[in-house]
Amino acid sequence: MWTRTDLKRNAKSVLKKNYWKSVIVSLIFLFITGSGAASTGREASDELSNAKDTFAGMDGSTFLLIIGVVAGAILISMLIGLLLTIFLWNPLHVGCQKFFVNAVEDQEAGLGDVLYSFKNGYGHIGGIMFVRTVFICLWSVLLIIPGIVKMYEYMMVPFILAENPDMSRKEVFALSKKMMTGNKWKAFVLDLSFLGWSILGGITLGI
């Protein structure tokens, strides 16, 4: 059994050995998980604000043409985002976890670990990570709470792939589910314990 205190104390000890490498990998991971969605949201907000003035007084046919162009651009953007997620972000996600797994196990952790998935079952790892994303999204569409539960149930998938890149999808998901049984709430509370750091990071623009 693990406690938050023990986990954080061990993490600090590991961090001291690979501090600057960990900072760089964490920045890469932050970019993968957050910056794309945030920038898309800001751009969408600005475009909607400008659209109100642009569409005022416009005739119907021109309006429909613009709507079609915008819809096409959105679909293309979504497709590009999906392809980037499958072929780049998800493999990099597993690579980041490979770095931290090696650091925790006192192995030689190098920045090259971030590219681990591209050298070890790239297509296999990318496919499993994509299925994980789809499962979480589908559960989230049904209800928010089940989506959160499934997110924590599949939390170990990238870590398992980082150590076992040849493991089958069913085995990976089954092992993650087994590892998180009885630990989902603890993991959720662990994440909440970093809320203060998240707020401080936001106030200091991530510094």
Residue with tokens 């009885």: 182
| Token duo for residue 163 | 């150590």
φ/ψ bin of 178: left (φ > 0), alpha (ψ from -120 to 50), beta (otherwise): alpha
Residue 85 predicted with pLDDT over 90: no
| Residue-level pLDDT at 40 | 45
Residues in Cβ contact with 170 at an 8 Å cutoff, skipping those fewer than 6 apart? none
Distance CA 207, CA 203 (A): 9
Higher-pLDDT residue of 59 and 48 is 59
pTM of the shown model: 0.75
The pLDDT tens digits of the residues spanning 19-51 come to: 888 888 888 887 776 644 444 444 445 555 555
Distance CA 128, CA 111 (A): 23
| Mean pLDDT score across all residues of the chain | 84
